[in-house]
Amino acid sequence: MWGGRFDSGPAGVMKDITPSIDFDKRLARQDIAGSLAHARMLGATGIVSADDVEAIVKGLETIAREIAEGRFVFRRELEDIHLNIEARLKEIVGDAAGRLHTARSRNDQVATDLRLYIREACDEADARLAALQRALVDQAATHCETIMPGFTHMQPAQPIVFAHHCLAYVEMLSRDRGRFADARGRANESPLGAAALAGTSFPIDRDATARALGFARPMRNALDAVSARDFALEYLSAATICMSHLSRLAGEIVQWTSPAFGFVRLSDSFTTGSSIMPQKRNPDAAELVRGKTGRVLGDFVALTTVVKGLALAYGSDLQEDKERVFDAADTLALSLRAMAGMVADLTVDKDAMRKAAQAGHPTATDLADWLVGRLKLPFREAHHVAGRIVRRADELGLALDAMPLAEMQAIAPAIAKEVFDVLGLEASVASRVSYGGTAPARVREQVLFWQETLR
Ligand code: ARG
């Protein structure tokens, strides 16, 4: 492609270090779309003759078919997807192929391809996130009254309903969708026509190519257009944050399926056995999603490090962007699929959840609140009194709602039998009616909201 000023060929190691075709062949579809838009624009502006453009377009369409059908031969000596396609175009249409690269550089070409790819990756993430949200909302809809312990510090804190827990993840995932939408919005500008870095003297129409590719507008600054990779970083950071959310849910599934908890059960379809211990039912997919989070963060860190301190405009360092993006996109898609599958699959053991909710006096806050509401104690004093009652309950080996009234009155004489109205799990949960609270009445409203929103 650039033999004109070279006397000899590259060193052996160059053949190993320069090619990107092994991975950037994944951009073939985007590359052809970009070339089609560019070729048609060259025709419309009279930069290239109509006949040549027609030949180029037909040739590119043939190549697209060859690639889709797996008949295209990718060649490492042709370095990357751009040069592979151009070389094949020359074989098919002859000299006209040489006019396609007028007013264009691989620098704006690759930036265009990757933006098109990331736009699709954002759309895919959105669709998969919505599917996972639906699976969570389905579980929530059946468990608005299923009581489980809510934890802080992994200690039983206050009873909640399982739907409340599921919907917390639905909220997190909806912010993830917002991040992908934001990333998509900023990625959706066209670098095409920036050429190498300085623009071009040809009378190109960048609005036309931007429009043809569905970009909102051409990028204003040619130097920025070929240098910028923050759109990829935004995608990777949205993917990283999303993976961190998936890892929390995955981690909880690992805990909940452990016999020590027994809150949920995954069917055989989402469980693996052990080669030595016959009793095992391992939640592998959940563990793997949890584990893969680090890998997506690694992708983000790697690309940030590539871009850091890199002088404008293009540097071959930027060739390192694609594998990071592909790896993150593949990992995210796989993880979202696995999570949606597991969430839909899991069955809840209501008794186990309820039993666990009874341990550790989770209604102690309700007792303190009752002392405030009925006996008009300041909350700090009520907290202290409730603490003493909890200690006595522990001594007697009793749950709070099984404590004899006299035992409580020995600590706070004004306590009346109405206190038992708030000490049970159902009463506790039902009382938390504040906006966003765990009361089944509130949670059912949220389920309806999400069913409507996700329809
Ligand atoms: N293969 C290159 C990449 O992946 C394409 C752009 C190459 N541009 C250049 N001037 N060497 O980034």
158 CB within 6 A, ligand 1: no
Closest CA to 295 of 259, 251, 328: 328
- Which is it for strands 217-218 and 189-190: parallel, antiparallel or unpaired? parallel
Specify the pLDDT at position 277: 82
pLDDT in tens, 378-390: 999 999 999 999 9
- Which is it for strands 147-152 and 189-190: parallel, antiparallel or unpaired? unpaired
The answer to whether the CB of 190 falls within 8 A of the CB of 213 is: yes
Specify the pLDDT at position 174: 98
Rounded distance from Cα 104 to ligand 1 centre (Å):
13
Q: Report the nearest-CA residue for atom 4 of ligand 1.
A: 319
The answer to whether the CB of 231 falls within 8 A of the CB of 225 is: no
Specify the pLDDT at position 9: 84
pLDDT in tens, 184-207: 999 999 999 999 999 999 999 999
Give the separation between CA 375 and CA 372, rounded to whole angstroms: 6
Type and span of the H or E element at 254: helix 230-257
Tally Cβ neighbours within 10 Å of residue 412. 18
Q: What is the dihedral sign for C-alpha 155, 156, 162, 165? A: negative
Rounded distance from Cα 51 to ligand 1 centre (Å):
29
pLDDT at 347 over 90: yes
CA atoms within 13 A on the CB side of 442: 17
Specify the pLDDT at position 158: 93
pLDDT in tens, 122-175: 999 999 999 999 999 999 999 999 999 999 999 888 999 999 999 999 999 999
DSSP tag of 147: E
Specify the pLDDT at position 27: 98
pLDDT at 2 over 80: no
Which has more pLDDT, 235 or 11? 235
Give the separation between CA 96 and CA 453, rounded to whole angstroms: 52
Q: Produce one character per residue of 319-348: b if its CB has 16 or more CB atoms within 10 Å, e if not.
A: bbbbbbbbbbbebbbebbebbbbbbebbeb
Q: How far is CA 269 from the centre of its chain?
A: 24
Rounded distance from Cα 328 to ligand 1 centre (Å):
21
- Which is it for strands 217-218 and 147-152: parallel, antiparallel or unpaired? unpaired
Specify the pLDDT at position 366: 93
Rounded distance from Cα 106 to ligand 1 centre (Å):
6
Averaged pLDDT for residues 82-92: 98
Give the separation between CA 448 and CA 49, rounded to whole angstroms: 59
Active site residues: 153, 274
Rounded distance from Cα 184 to ligand 1 centre (Å):
23
Closest CA to 406 of 392, 391, 395, 394: 392
Listed range (109-118, 225-234, 418-427) with the worst mean pLDDT: 418-427
Closest CA to 127 of 86, 166, 91, 180: 180
pLDDT at 1 over 80: no
195 CB within 6 A, ligand 1: no
Q: Which of 80, 84, 117, 317 to mutate to test the pocket of ligand 1 (most atoms within 8 A of CB)?
A: 80
Which atom of ligand 1 approaches the CA of 318 most closely?
12
Tally Cβ neighbours within 10 Å of residue 421. 12
Specify the pLDDT at position 276: 79
Which atom of ligand 1 approaches the CA of 322 most closely?
4
Q: Produce one character per residue of 357-371: b if its CB has 16 or more CB atoms within 10 Å, e if not.
A: bbeebbbbbbbbbbb
Burial of residue 223 (CB within 10 Å: 0-12, 13-18, 19+) is middle
Q: What pTM, to 2 d.p., does this model score? A: 0.94
Listed range (64-68, 272-276, 373-377) with the worst mean pLDDT: 272-276
Specify the pLDDT at position 360: 86
Averaged pLDDT for residues 344-369: 94
Mean pLDDT (the chain, rounded) = 96
Averaged pLDDT for residues 31-59: 98
Give the separation between CA 160 and CA 165, rounded to whole angstroms: 8
Averaged pLDDT for residues 438-447: 98
Q: Which of 110, 117, 324 to mutate to test the pocket of ligand 1 (most atoms within 8 A of CB)?
A: 110
In this prediction, residue 272 has a pLDDT band, given cuts at 50, 70 and 90, of confident
Amino acid at 249: L
Name the token pair of 292: 């893969």
Tally Cβ neighbours within 10 Å of residue 46. 9
Which atom of ligand 1 approaches the CA of 24 most closely?
4
Which atom of ligand 1 approaches the CA of 80 most closely?
1
Averaged pLDDT for residues 280-295: 95
Helix 81-93 × helix 106-142 angle, to 10°: 120
